Chain A
Amino acid sequence: MTIETGGYTEKQLLRMIRQWVPRERVPQKVRIKDTADFFRVDYDDVVVLDGVPFFVRNNEREGRFGLEDEPKFWVKRSINLVTGGVKVLKWVFWERFSARIGDLVFECVRSPRKEARILELVRGRPDFMQGETVPDSTGNPLRILDYIRGKTLGEAILTLGADHQEFFYRYYPALLDEFIGVVEAIRFLHESGEKHGDIRRDHLIKDSATGRYRWIDFDFNYRHGASRFAYDLFGLGNILIYITGRGDVTTHRLLRDDPDVLNRLSEDDVNIVFHNRVANLKKVYPYIPDSLNRVLMHFAAGAPVYYDDTRELLEDLGEARDELFDNVK
């Protein structure tokens, strides 16, 4: 097997590594690895993609399914040895599984082709991660992604304000504006016929370079039913409830901290899927405007109607934003 070296010698690569890496991190020897199998590519290896050498660092990690910081062996941080830019290399990792939400089971796939397609679609947009797709040595689509420095939405929210009321009046209006922006981004995807597929708060990173949230990780796809985008909308609703409550307001937390409020809740007031999370947040925080709470209630167990698309959600969010800004003036 011939490994692509891009014409670089070991000496040249070592010189390039020294340019971007502190002296104590420079390896004694450079190993150029084939790109076909991510399990064979380790820390300190070099892979050459489309003629460009990348110095491989750690595997990326992700909390998922209740397991925090699970290493993703097919996703490796790296340094572009020509530019010094930090990139995330995402190898092909085929995965097909049944996702379960409550009693409902639906088919999901992890599709590198989908992510490659969307990367092309969103090229240049500040609200999506950026990157390009190149073939690995067997022709499979390997994605080279820009590394985004910044906090996820979930991390950012919890530190704002001394309590919910201060958070709500001082920080929430700007947050709602940012949320409307990220929903607009999803609207763009949907109107282009694509789903995000895995909408959750840790898939939104506030890029410290631009100050704007970017959607990341769009390689998941789910087998939809009558409504193509309903599951994406469900994800957006969960994020909205999370940011409005400054974290999830759970029935468990209310039982412990505020049992009177818990007693005022009915079974209609909880999240339609996650019954331990409160959706009717006005019953917990009475200063939440009616128009905003009406949006939240579309994701509640007692909702008589649901959003069909992002356009409907954005219309209601616009109204909620206007009322909110009138209130805080």
Chain B
Amino acid sequence: MKTETDSPMKDKHILIAVDETESSKGAVLYVADILGGFPGFRVTLLSIIPEPEEDFFDTAEEQAAWTRKNLEAAKAMLENYGQILNQAGFPPDKIQIRACVGETKEFADAILEAQRGMESCTVVVGRRHKTKTEEFLFGSTSTRLIREAKNCAIWVVE
């Protein structure tokens, strides 16, 4: 008889989109808490660096250095979050990390594009409390994810 881990059933793929905020850390801890140790799940930790607009830099070199620095910081953050998941019972081979630059898209659209590409069934994000004015002027990734997502579940962790 096959054990569960040998089952030909595909793992459920959970995509956790994170940044450096405490609310993102909360999203990782939530997944670790409720799914850690259960077989049949794999996780991708995704960090999208906001596209560095050239207008904010004096030179292209300065812009490239900013991107490199932020990508390295994102990778370090994702590795830390990977360890949290690992300690919670996710095997290392079920944890992937991915850091990329978010081109000109809205964050939510970039996350959903990644979700479609990876065929993940669930997207998990943290939500920081924002005032109405703040949400109006700067937007909200979780609100847009809920509006735009198709064929997947969105978990918003507050």
Interface residues of A (CB under 8 A from B): 101-104, 106-107, 109, 111, 113-114, 193, 221, 223-228, 230-231, 234, 272-273, 301, 303, 306, 308
Contacts and interface: CB of A to CB of B under 8 A. Distances in A.
Given A223-B56, A226-B108, A272 B133 contact: yes
B56 A107 contact: yes
Interface string B56-100: 100000000000000000000000000000000000000000000
A228 B107 CA distance: 9
A273 B139 CA distance: 14
Given A221-B53, A224-B50, A225-B137, 9 more contacts: A101-B137, A103-B133, A106-B137, A193-B104, A226-B139, A230-B139, A272-B132, A273-B133, A273-B137
Contacts of B133: 101-104, 272-273
A278 to B, nearest CB: 17
Contacts of A273: 133, 136-137
B144 interface: yes
Contact of A114 (B50, B55, B140, B147): B55
Contact of B139 (A109, A114, A227): A227
Interface string B24-56: 000000000000000000000000001001111
Contacts of B132: 272, 301, 303
A145 B132 CA distance: 39
B106 interface: yes
B23 interface: no
Given A226-B106, A308-B144, A109 B136 contact: no
Interface in B126-155: 131-141, 144, 147
A114 B108 CA distance: 25
A223 B139 CA distance: 12
Contact of B138 (A111, A114, A221, A226): A226
Given A193-B104, A272-B132, A301-B132, A230 B137 contact: yes
Given A102-B133, A224-B138, A230-B137, A113 B55 contact: yes
Contacts of A221: 53, 55-56
Instruction: Summarize A's interface: helix, strand, loop or mixed.
Output: loop
Given A226-B144, A228-B104, A109 B56 contact: yes
Interface residues of B, number: 22
B137 A104 contact: yes
B125 to A, nearest CB: 11
23 contacts: A101-B133, A103-B131, A103-B133, A104-B133, A104-B134, A104-B137, A106-B138, A111-B55, A113-B55, A221-B55, A224-B50, A225-B138, A226-B108, A226-B139, A226-B140, A226-B141, A227-B138, A228-B139, A230-B137, A230-B139, A231-B138, A234-B136, A272-B133
Contacts of B53: 221
Contacts of B147: 308
Nearest to B138: A225
A228 B55 contact: no
A275 B39 CA distance: 53
Contacts of A227: 106, 138-140, 144
A111 B58 CA distance: 10
A227 B147 CA distance: 14
A102 B138 CA distance: 14
Interface string B90-128: 000000000000001011100000000000000000000
Contact of A226 (B55, B56, B104, B107): B107
A230 B106 CA distance: 11
A111 B55 CA distance: 6
A302 to B, nearest CB: 9
A301 B135 CA distance: 12
Nearest to A273: B133
Contacts of A225: 137-139
B137 A234 contact: yes
A225 B131 CA distance: 14
Contacts of B108: 226
